[in-house]
Amino acid sequence: MTIPYSSSDLIDSSYAFRRLLITLAIMTMGSGCLYVVAVVLPEVQAEFGVSRSDASLPYTVLAIGFGVGGIYMGRLADRWGIYSVLLIGSAGLMIGFIWAGMSGGILGFTLANGIFLGFLGISATFSPLVADTSLWWNKRRGIAVAVCASGNYLAGSIWPSIAQYGVSTIGWRQTYIWMGVVCGLSMAALAMLMRPRPPMVTASVPKAGGGQQADRPFGVSIGRAQFLLCVAGLACCVAMAMPQVHIVAYCADLGYGPARGAEMLSLMLACGIASRLISGMICDRIGGVRTLLLGSALQGIALVLFLPFDGLVSLYVISALFGLFQGGLVPSYAIVVREYFPPSQAGRRVGAVMMSTMLGMALGGWMSGKFFDLTGSYQAAMINGVVWNLLNLAIATWLFVRVKKQESLK
């Protein structure tokens, strides 16, 4: 099938829908490493004989590699297209999983996660795919980006349970090796279907969405607007990291066992899928900034609920609520970028914000482990998450006020 790259008829088309389904599958295969490392954290800590904070470092380095790599992969996608980036990512995933599974110590395991699984692997699947998806849709951009980003949580709802089963039957090392083969090969095969470039890259399009000037988003310089979004992304994901990274270890410490924690993580991320889809529909109605503000407020409520409740049933319920409340946060940043920044810069701008969110996950994952080492519990880590969420809420509120002010002047 020949695709007329410059035709705007492809926007919101049946081809865009088919491409979205392929994107969802790629995101699901490419994002598993981000959640599996939390499942094997107790096993890695025991085998390598390290502290909880040291055992959290592989996740931290993976998240940093994910975030930093997202900027470079976004630039490559803007220049060469998503196809080449996905091939790099598939190779990174295969090498990273196999190297991690064969590592002889915490250093090798950490490097495999940071360089190959993070910088070269998962970084190719999130920011570039989200940016690419935003360029194929106008009328239903919010729900399309939400479906794309849901692949990240779909991976989180599927892979932890599979990994936990693998750990209990063949061990964490063999589980990692098999994941490298399956995820790497399937992602490379799916990438073959993603060769056409988005028409909005080659066609004549408005400078920015939402009727805003591309060089003055929110009435400030483009650099300042980018900086504020990056700080907001960092803050919200420091808060988000504690439950997502440490719920398995938290349940083990409480005596419920790592299997219950893996179930809670899968439940949390499965509810996150529903949250992202609902947030996408809301975003199409009220816009990215308002959706960001709503998600920030709801995530803060869920984090506070972790403080007084640690019963088994309570943790299942709160995990589900946390997934439902925070799932739409990260995709809303991509919508904000698409609404207020130039479309031709989508890859790099989304990549920069996603880098900040992953740095937040990295910092939050490490800080939670450090607070545990210092205090012997996760209560201080939860309070730390609430404080960072308040910073995110403050920035989201400021952006909302600026948008309302600009709307009132029209």
Q: Write out the two tokens for 73.
A: 């992969």
pLDDT at residue 209 in the model? 44
- Cα atoms found within 13 Å of the Cα of residue 58, Cβ hemisphere only: 34
Supply the pLDDT for residue 107.
Answer: 92
As given in the structure block, the two tokens for residue 326 are 């925070």
Instruction: Specify the 3-state DSSP secondary structure of 129.
Output: helix
In this structure, are residues 366 and 339 in contact, taking their beta carbons and an 8 Å threshold?
Answer: no
> Could you tell me how far CA 252 lies from the centroid of its own chain?
25
Instruction: Report whether 149 contacts 22 (CB < 8 A).
Output: no
Residue with tokens 């503000």: 293
Annotated domain spans of the chain: 14-408
Contact between residue 187 and residue 90 where contact means Cβ atoms under 8 Å apart: yes
Q: For residue 347, which phi and psi values (nearest 5 degrees)?
A: -60, -50
**pLDDT one digit per residue (tens) for the chain, 410 residues:** 344 444 457 888 889 999 999 999 999 999 999 889 878 888 888 889 888 778 878 888 898 888 888 888 988 888 888 999 999 999 999 999 999 999 989 999 999 999 999 999 999 988 889 888 988 888 888 889 889 988 887 887 788 889 989 999 999 999 999 999 999 999 999 999 998 887 755 543 444 444 445 567 887 888 898 999 999 999 999 999 888 878 888 888 888 888 888 888 878 878 888 888 888 888 888 888 999 999 999 999 999 999 888 888 999 999 999 988 887 788 889 889 888 887 777 677 887 888 888 788 878 888 888 888 888 888 888 899 999 999 999 999 999 999 888 777 76
Q: CA 355, CA 342: separation in Å to the nearest integer?
A: 19
Q: What is the pLDDT of residue 410?
A: 63
Q: Which residue matches tokens 């006020």?
A: 401
Burial tier of 44 (Cβ tally within 10 Å: 0-12, 13-18, 19+): buried
Task: Check if the beta carbon of residue 72 is closer than 8 Å to that of residue 120.
Answer: no
Residues 6+ apart with CB under 8 A from 357: 67, 233, 234, 236, 237, 330, 333
Q: From 402, 405, 389, select the one nearest 329 (Cα to Cα).
A: 389
* Alpha-helical regions (H) of 49-171: 52-80, 82-102, 106-111, 127-134, 141-169
Q: Please state, in angstroms and as integers, the Cα–Cα distance from residue 211 to each residue in 136, 237, 342, following that order.
A: 18, 29, 11
How is residue 218 annotated by DSSP? G
Q: Identify the H or E element spanning 34.
A: helix 33-39
Question: Residue 306 contacts by C-beta under 8 Å, 6 or more apart in sequence?
Answer: 242, 243, 318, 322, 382
Fold of 14-408: Growth Hormone; Chain: A; (1.20.1250)
C-alpha distance from residue 313 to each of 174, 202, 241, 320, 378 (Å): 32, 53, 21, 11, 18
Coil, helix or strand at residue 203:
coil
